[in-house]
A and B are shown apart, each in its own frame.
Chain A
Amino acid sequence: MKNFEEILNGMSKPEINNLKHEDLLAKAIINSKSKSALSFWWIIIPIYIIAAFVMKSLFVPHNSLRSNLTELTEKNGYIAILIFIAIPIVVIIINLVSIKNIYSLSKNISLSKFFVSSLINIFIILISLTIMLIYLL
């Protein structure tokens, strides 16, 4: 009993100098920027092909983006699906996971700050969806 009283008297208020939550959020934001850099280099491949087809449709008569995409699909079906469907889907998944990680750690931060920190990820997701729509429609 005396030991218990000594223990209680010797207890002090815990002091938290370093908030682990802020470190986790900082790491999540840095990781999301690395993922967006990686996504940029992969999504630029279908963007380059679409840009080349648009240029071809502008400067070569009797050509359109639709006819060029159809021709590419007929000649190299698997490569077209890989470039215009698989790569954008993987990029969307990677960026959605980044946004989800930031969102789960940023509950005390305003909505505007959350959008600013994940703006590039949202932009890359929109570009990927646009590429898929251009190919599918």
Chain B
Amino acid sequence: MNLPWFKRIGIFFIPVSIMGWFVMIGGIAYSVYVFIDIDKGSHSVSDTLIKFVFNFLIICAVYSLIAYLTSKAPRD
């Protein structure tokens, strides 16, 4: 496990290692799964978007927490 996995640019955490890319791709894949799941039970586009944005914000918050904790190089 080689830290750091992420680098911060502004308010975004960009992956800089393979593990970071795994975390990002996993987050994107889960977002797509949540979107499809919400869309199945929605009555309209706005219904889908309202429900999806809240879930997407939670996914972004968890991603940023993981990125923050793994963005620092280990102390020598």
Contact = CB atoms under 8 A, between A and B. Distances in A.
A4 interface: no
A5 B50 CA distance: 82
Contacts of A33: 8
Contact of A38 (B53, B54, B57, B68): B68
Nearest to B13: A37
Interface string A41-55: 110110011001000
B50 A37 contact: no
Contacts of B57: 41, 44-45, 48
Interface residues of A, number: 13
B72 to A, nearest CB: 8
Interface in B49-73: 50, 53-54, 57-58, 60-61, 63-65, 68, 71
Interface residues of B, number: 17
Contact of A41 (B50, B64, B71): B64
B11 interface: yes
Interface of B: 8, 10-13, 50, 53-54, 57-58, 60-61, 63-65, 68, 71
B10 A37 contact: yes
A136 to B, nearest CB: 22
B68 to A, nearest CB: 4
Contacts of A49: 54
